[in-house]
Structure 1
């Protein structure tokens, strides 16, 4: 997620990511072991030159189907046509962009995988459209041989990203190189903070935001004081925790310990969190339908959220210190809404963030090699990458500098998701990104990811296979109760015991024991 427009995964919509909430999402995971060039843009290799020399007659025609989530776009067809105009002369393929709304994407892909639908490319992540679970279920093709054949993209993606997506030593997804270091904090509308003279730099934890939310609730009836993005699963480091496998399945580590697997839902940190959310919910700080909310982009574009969770790797304070004008992450969704972004949990590189956003090739794809050729281009060709991310110049955006654009609001294509595809260091900067020195800003986040502090379990990937049945049952229990509890919509004193009981009956203890077993075995190999 580039600057303010990223992270669901990071600040991704719930179920982010990168916040982003790129937000977002995510909301929305990656170290100094990599060997890529020091420049932020990947350098094409000999293989890339060979690919570029392909003619339409040297390869049979191929059609690729590419599934990815975002908000519906009126002019997606123009973008598809523009991408195909660029890739067809290079690899004699055309790609059909199957954009699915966030709210139904995960269910759509479950149906596609279960039915054996022969699509080619699919967006996936460590949590949303769960990569590790889908690999365990045989949904994605092994990619090691194809990566070796088309290696250009590896120059621009740090080794730790590749290590984070390995399952039993194999790679099944191409990680997106984006702002993945898991620094966290919050985002507040600049106009509100200034108007009410809020000491926005004084925050050290979520509960410190209560007075700000009170002020908004009392004085700004048209605004939502706090956008509900579930901090506990989107931002475990806020609570001193690190996810193993995915953010929702029971079995986390305390970051300081890094060795004992615990049920995060039984921790004092979780109890404190849901008690806080209950307080905020009953005071009207959250939307009444927070537990059922599938996406937040419409509220963000409308500037309705006064404050929200943020995956923040470079905050407003750091950007100003570097001599840049920081308009804030909120402006990435609505240029008229500037924000202060403040980090109070320092960046940490975890497996779930290195694997937060990636592209896989379906095990049922009839065009696996051509799909890899396309991904290789998407990770190395700046024009192809930016066409998919930002659309057609003059129609969907206008260039205002060599590497900076302004999106055209009514152009019909505004996905604001550079973190969702390829290598984000190729991305143009947009309205939400800080101004002052474009190359310097890009290099700041690239260096941050290259030199991030690694977690003690970086590279550990949990194999769900031995507990597939328990995983399915636990997922059902979480879907039934979790978001009602986490959003504060129900009384935690009554429903938390019920939730924990359902998890145990579903097999959470067996999952935790299996995670501990695999973690211990992994640590033994690292000695």
Structure 2
């Protein structure tokens, strides 16, 4: 499903140098471009007041999808009617998106909107490069309804040096990784759900081993699937400052907000050691998985997962997960839900600093965040072809999920709270989700956003090291010596400097509160 990009290291480095030159100063505005800008008044009126434009939008997901061009064409018909714009949709597989966007941004290739977060197409790094446009002066004018609907604290979480560079997709912001198992297998093999629900840590993860052993007696192809990226810092009671890939995290229970290298903590080291042990026992199917840069969901669809941990636990999540594979799955929280800056900025859109039509791009995002029909069309396809609404208003997906348009990423394009409620979920699932966000334990760093600019060179180096070593750690094929080599190379690449800069910024932020 995911295609591997074959970009060489040299090309990426060269492209990055192009970016530094291209983004050193804001682009000048040409008179012809200025004449195409809509006024705030025109943005509220009919398409007759707006010049026709074509926007380009990059985003990741389980692509390509069946019928995607048909769906995109239908979306464009409605966009043309509403705001006299069409979109060149650029969907990419999760496994290739990060690398592709590095090249797009570094080369200066034209685009208008790109999905960004703290886990893919990294927000803080791109802001440090000058890749994204500050939105503060545009949001209230061109996306007033969305700007008002999203909590102010969420917009504040997206600020870097006081400016907003990301358009927040409101969704489940309270985070704890989800533990996912087959409902039938959990009942048959007597998974002790009370013992693990909300209670998994690096110390208690071995509680899953008896269940894994029992499942594998009958299904030896099934194993345990997770990754450092999927676990994020949350599983280790840590809040990564610039994403799990970058050294630097704060323990949720530490009132001093001391920044540490998460890879030097006992919790992450225990996880790495357990993965080595479980790989030796055959639980991880590492020989099959090692050829891919990241797990792409094919293991689940092929029936090769006994237990998976990752994503984010949320109300109704098991319905979405079950629809992916055609059998019932259970979803349990791995630990305590926290409301973090990382959870808030995990799903955002950014506008290219060099976009010729940033106002129209914001109008597009406003429309998709407020027009329920267009939002659901983009997410779930064409009504009565890809899904139906039953007599009670619940959405029922049509046909085989693997053969129909079903990206299953409703948090990707806009606010998740516009989605039709799927059959099997509570009618009030979005109200419940908002309540989970409200009730989650707030991070002591809520609202702090790291400015990566002073250490962007070091971040680039340690990020490359994560790409080089993390997959082997996750699959248990990395020895303890290799893990220590990873730590040593991080120091050479500048991890201590990054952590010192994070501490400096956190201390200043804390003093200013």
Q: TM-score range by the shorter chain?
A: 0.7 to 0.9
Structure 2 vs 1, CA of residues 72 and 226 (structure 1 numbering), >3 Å: closer, same or farther?
A: same
Gaps of 5+ in 2: 5-38
Which stretch of the first structure deviates more once superposed, 188-197 or 301-310?
301-310
Q: Greater helix share, 1 or 2? A: 2
State whether structure 2 residue 235 is matched by structure 1 residue 238: yes
Choose which of 166, 176, 194 in structure 1 pairs with 2:187: 194
Gaps of 5+ in 1: 1-11, 15-46, 320-325
Determine if contact 2:42/2:49 at 8 Å carries over to the other structure: no
Structure 2 vs 1, CA of residues 518 and 123 (structure 1 numbering), >3 Å: closer, same or farther?
A: same
Structure 2 vs 1, CA of residues 375 and 328 (structure 1 numbering), >3 Å: closer, same or farther?
A: closer
State whether structure 2 residue 259 is matched by structure 1 residue 261: yes
* Residue aligning to 2:371: 381
State whether structure 2 residue 485 is matched by structure 1 residue 498: yes
* Residue aligning to 2:496: 509
Deviations 1:83-125 (A, max 9, x none): 1121212211011111112221111111111111111111111
Number of matched pairs: 465
In the aligned structure 2, how far is the partner of 1:52 from the partner of 1:383? 19
In the aligned structure 2, how far is the partner of 1:290 from the partner of 1:228? 11
Deviations 1:41-94 (A, max 9, x none): xxxxxx999856413x21110001111112211311111111112121221101
In the aligned structure 1, how far is the partner of 2:3 from the partner of 2:152? 28
State the shift of 1:332 in Å: 3.4
Describe the SS at the equivalent of 1:110. helix
In the aligned structure 2, how far is the partner of 1:299 from the partner of 1:408? 21
Structure 2 vs 1, CA of residues 218 and 48 (structure 1 numbering), >3 Å: closer, same or farther?
A: farther
Show the 5 A alignment for 1:35-434.
51=43, 53-55=45-47, 57-70=48-61, 71-150=63-142, 151-203=144-196, 204-205=199-200, 206-222=205-221, 224-230=222-228, 234-258=231-255, 259-288=257-286, 289-291=288-290, 292-314=292-314, 328=319, 330-334=321-325, 336-400=326-390, 401-409=392-400, 412-430=404-422, 434=424
Structure 2 vs 1, CA of residues 113 and 447 (structure 1 numbering), >3 Å: closer, same or farther?
A: same
Structure 2 vs 1, CA of residues 102 and 446 (structure 1 numbering), >3 Å: closer, same or farther?
A: same
Determine if contact 1:328/1:341 at 8 Å carries over to the other structure: no
State the shift of 1:213 in Å: 1.0
RMSD: 2.4
TM-score when normalising by structure 2:
0.86
Structure 2 vs 1, CA of residues 313 and 198 (structure 1 numbering), >3 Å: closer, same or farther?
A: closer
Describe the SS at the equivalent of 1:428. coil
Determine if contact 1:378/1:422 at 8 Å carries over to the other structure: yes
Show the 5 A alignment for 1:454-465.
454-465=442-453
Describe the SS at the equivalent of 1:445. helix
Describe the SS at the equivalent of 1:105. helix
Describe the SS at the equivalent of 1:146. helix
Structure 2 vs 1, CA of residues 169 and 116 (structure 1 numbering), >3 Å: closer, same or farther?
A: same
State the shift of 1:243 in Å: 0.7
Which stretch of the first structure deviates more once superposed, 282-291 or 102-111?
282-291
